[in-house]
Structure 1
Amino acid sequence: MRAQIEAQPFAHRCRVYYEDTDAGGIVYYVNYLKFMERARTERLRELGFAQSALVAEDLLFVVHSAEARYHAPAKLDDELFVTADVIELNRASLRFRQQVRRVTDKALLCEGQFVVACVRADSLKPRAIPEALRTAFASVAGLPPAGE
């Protein structure tokens, strides 16, 4: 079953450190992917699911595909606002829409979509998203709990 959904807004704040930048003090492009990964992890945590606990239950989320578009640079010491909104919930995957904005002027710096697959930690084979996780993601998206 594939459900198209509009998730409630979620955002993670972070700051640009020297290690995130190139010699010119501009965020190196791949580091936006790191910022977005952290926001997805914090989204899970906000729903009550720590990734360390999921691994103990033989579950990992891995990025299946990533699409990013860069609009403007972030610079050293900028504070960023990174969203992580689920827009599609499938049996064994989630699609996130993400944006990175600068806090001071709300300028859109980077945006993208990421398909994250649920796999078994021991074999890396696909597995269904556990019902508790599906229900949590569905509830923040305004969907009825699974099975209703």
Structure 2
Amino acid sequence: MKDQPAAGGTLFSWPVRVYYEDTDAGGLVYHSNYIKFMERARTEFLRSLGFELDALERDQRLLFAVRSLSIDYRRPARLSDWLTVTLDLESLRPASLAFVQRVLRGGELLCDGRVRVAALSADSFRPMAIPDFMFERLAAQWPGCPLPSGSDATRGV
């Protein structure tokens, strides 16, 4: 599906300070840490909607696992930089979410990527449908969200 950011810009952003532990010997952010920054932003996005990952596992037996990830590194971040990690919902499907994420310093794009997460049963680790209450809240964050084919007003499960 085509990238559809929320009207007026980014759906969610999360601030990150670069610490010594995030950098390599040259004082630049080590490449895998950008992925950690993006993970934190996704977790905080869900938290901002009232979804705690531990509660989803305990109460709904739902886990999310990264299914695919692509990332482009454009410019380095450095020790003590203040970064902003943004998140836009790219697609919402019955058992997965796809995000477009960016890491910026001021207005400068440092890194961007696409991440698809799969909804999994905590018991079997097999795909499961995102619960209706969660799916509906996610869809409400994205005006004009293209819903799966064959869906009613909220979902096609």
Superposed pair shares fold, TM > 0.5: yes
Classify the secondary structure of the residue corresponding to 2:94: coil
Give SS of 2:35's match: helix
Aligned 8 A contact 1:7 1:140 in 2: no
Deviation at 1:92, TM superposition (A): 0.4
Letter matched to residue 24 of structure 2? D
Contact 1:5–1:141 under 8 Å retained in 2: no
Aligned to 2:119: 118
1:46 is matched with which residue? 48
Residue 31 of structure 2 aligns to a residue whose secondary structure is coil
Which residue pairs with 1:137 in the alignment?
138
Question: Could you tell me how far 1:132 is from its partner in structure 2?
Answer: 1.0
Summarize the alignment of residues 35-74 of structure 1 with structure 2, pairs less than 5 Å apart. 35-56=37-58, 57-74=60-77
The number of aligned residues is 144
Query: In the TM superposition, what is the alpha-carbon distance from 1:7 to its structure 2 partner?
Result: 4.2
Indicate if the aligned counterparts of 1:88 and 1:95 stay in contact, CA closer than 8 A: yes
After superposition, the CA RMSD in angstroms is 1.7
Are the counterparts in 1 of residues 49 and 137 from structure 2 also a CA contact under 8 Å? yes
Quote how far apart the aligned CAs of 1:6 are: 2.5
Give SS of 1:49's match. coil
Separation in 2, partners of 1:18, 1:107: 21
* Equivalent-residue separation in structure 2 for 1:5 and 1:34 (angstroms): 22
Q: Could you report, residue by residue, the CA deviation over 1:26-61 in whole angstroms, capped at 9, with x for unpaired residues?
A: 000000000000000001001110111111021001
1:5, CA displacement in angstroms?
Answer: 6.7
Q: Percent identity?
A: 47
1:143 Cα deviation from its structure 2 partner: 4.0
Matches of 1:122 and 1:24, distance apart in 2: 43
- Residue 36 (structure 2) pairs with residue 34 (structure 1): yes
Question: How far did residue 4 of structure 1 move?
Answer: 5.7
Contact kept, 8 Å, 1:4 with 1:89, in 2: the verdict is no
Unpaired runs of 5+ residues, structure 1, are none
